[in-house]
Amino acid sequence: MTGFAKTVTRALAAIAFAAALAPAGALADAAKRPVVAELFTSQGCYSCPPADKFLGVLAQRPGVIALSFHVDYWNYLGWRDPYSSAEATQRQQTYASAMRRRTVYTPQIVIDGKLQAIGSYTGVIDGQIRLRQKSADDRVAVSITAGANAESLTASLEGDGGRTGDCTVWLVYFDKQHTTAIPRGENAGKTLTYYNVVREIRRVAEYRGADLEVDLPRTGEKGGRFDRVAVLVQEPDGGRIVGAAWAELK
């Protein structure tokens, strides 16, 4: 892991606004084009806690949508992560294929579906976020507002004249924070806190460059109620995220 980490650091060093549903319903222009940071992590991963903690810092940063995806491939090590899912693992594998990586690992962070780094390499990640913020003018503006009834929301995507090509609109439900005492596995005896924990993700629409409104439910597919919701507009097959927004649900 040490040699791999050094290789990644050298490579990345060379490269080297969250939109909340406000009661007033107005969104600042700067918050319409946030950078998305996706951390792939696991409660069964000994090296993940520093990255989980840093994601909590990113979750508080204006202009960043920070999401924690818990993968399920470490569950065999003696502790099953209660927030892990096959969908999180599949999403990470899709990124690996798109980035032509042979393997997946934790903790990994992916910035705007385009850049990646070890999740605890805070300096590298900060640099990647700044790099993506410089290209904010190329993104689709997205907003989330209250829907026609108490159980619905509306996601509004501004047209860009087809500049970005066809994209998938993803709906992501996540919880603000979870704290877990871990009795077994590599982190046995620790009590760890996780931020913006993704609970469900699914496709809800296709974006083709024209103005688009998508009706969204406030609850998950099985009626689950979560703290927050995000909408991601992403190029196919683990491509670049070209637009995003998030909102409080409680």
Quick one: pLDDT at residue 171?
98
pLDDT at 24: 30
Q: Give the number of domains in the chain.
A: 1
pLDDT: is 2 or 50 the higher one? 50
List pLDDT tens digits, range 185-235: 999 999 999 999 999 999 999 999 999 999 999 999 988 999 999 999 999
Bridge partners of 172?
Answer: 201, 230
Q: Give the pLDDT of residue 8.
A: 42
Mean pLDDT of the chain: 88
**Which residue, 100, 98, 106, is CA-closest to 73?**
106
Residues making up the chain, counted from first to last: 250
The span from the CA of 20 to the CA of 28, in Å, is 10
Cβ neighbour number for residue 58 with a 10 Å cutoff:
23
Give the per-residue pLDDT at 32.
55
| Host domain of residue 194 | 2-248
Decide if 43 contacts 185 (C-beta within 8 A): yes
Under 8 Å between Cβ of 173 and 228: yes
The pLDDT-based confidence of 2 (bands split at 50, 70, 90) is very low
**pLDDT by residue (tens digit) across 151-186?**
899 999 999 887 888 999 999 999 999 999 999 999
- Cα within 13 Å of Cα(50), Cβ side: 7
> How much of the chain, in percent, has pLDDT values that exceed 70?
87
pTM of the model: 0.87
> Over 90: is that where the pLDDT of 75 sits?
yes
Over residues 14-22, mean pLDDT? 34
Hey, what are 228's tokens?
């927050």
pLDDT of residue 31: 55
- For 107-134, how does the pLDDT look when each residue is reduced to its tens digit (9 = 90+)? 999 999 999 999 999 999 999 999 999 8
Query: What pLDDT was estimated at residue 4?
Result: 41
Task: Say yes or no to pLDDT of 29 above 50.
Answer: no
pLDDT band, very low/low/confident/very high, at 243 (cuts 50, 70, 90): very high
Q: Which two tokens stand for residue 216?
A: 């969204």
